[in-house]
Homo-oligomer: A and B are copies of this chain.
Amino acid sequence: MTTTGNLTQLGTKVETPASPELAILETVPFARTDGPPAIVRFTCPEFTSLCPVTGQPDFAHIVIDYAPDELLVESKSLKLFMTSFRNHGAFHEDCTVAIGKRVVEATKPLWLRIAGYWYPRGGIPIDVFWQTGTPPEGAWLPETGVAPYRGRG
């Protein structure tokens, strides 16, 4: 089992990983008690990646909700993971889902969902919403409340 003692990035000066593949999502144990699962939400307004076709930067506002089972994402490793997309090329739909899947892989949560609110291109922004299944029975999952896009005015 991963313990806090195993963390390699927290409290240490760590270089930004050069790619998502090189980023290490670390975890800390979560003492889940009986009863419905807790929901944990990360809001990441500082996300940027590259367009796989043109190489131009893309920007997104990412929101992740998950129901941890035995492991929590260690938040500094999450930040480094998000930062590792800076020089990575991917389509909006794939990129959003892939981030969600990496967190699933690392923490084996009871449930996870992710929203990617991408900045407009050609006057049309794209949002991507994905979750691993119906939210867990008995858990509380508020709306993300992100404002809709409005060109001008």
- Asked if A72 CB lies within 8 Å of chain B CBs, one says yes
Determine whether the beta carbon of A40 is less than 8 Å from that of B144: no
Q: List 9 A-B contacts (CB under 8 A).
A: A11-B53, A16-B57, A43-B148, A45-B119, A59-B151, A119-B123, A125-B152, A145-B145, A146-B153
Interface size class of A (residues with CB under 8 A): 35 or more
Partner of A127, one of B40, B124, B132: B40
User: Which A residues from 99 to 152 make CB contacts under 8 A with B?
Assistant: 113, 115, 117-134, 137-152
Q: Are A152 and B59 in contact (CB under 8 A)?
A: yes
Query: Most chain-B CB neighbours within 10 Å: which of A36, A43, A125, A126?
Result: A43
Q: Does A88 contact B (CB under 8 A)?
A: no
- A42 and B124 within 8 A (CB): yes
Selected contact of A94 from candidates B31, B127, B128, CB within 8 Å:
B31
**Known contacts A115-B142, A123-B79; is-contact A133 B43 (Cβ 8 Å):** no
B10 touches A53 (CB 8 A): yes
Q: Which B residues are CB-close (under 8 A) to A90?
A: none
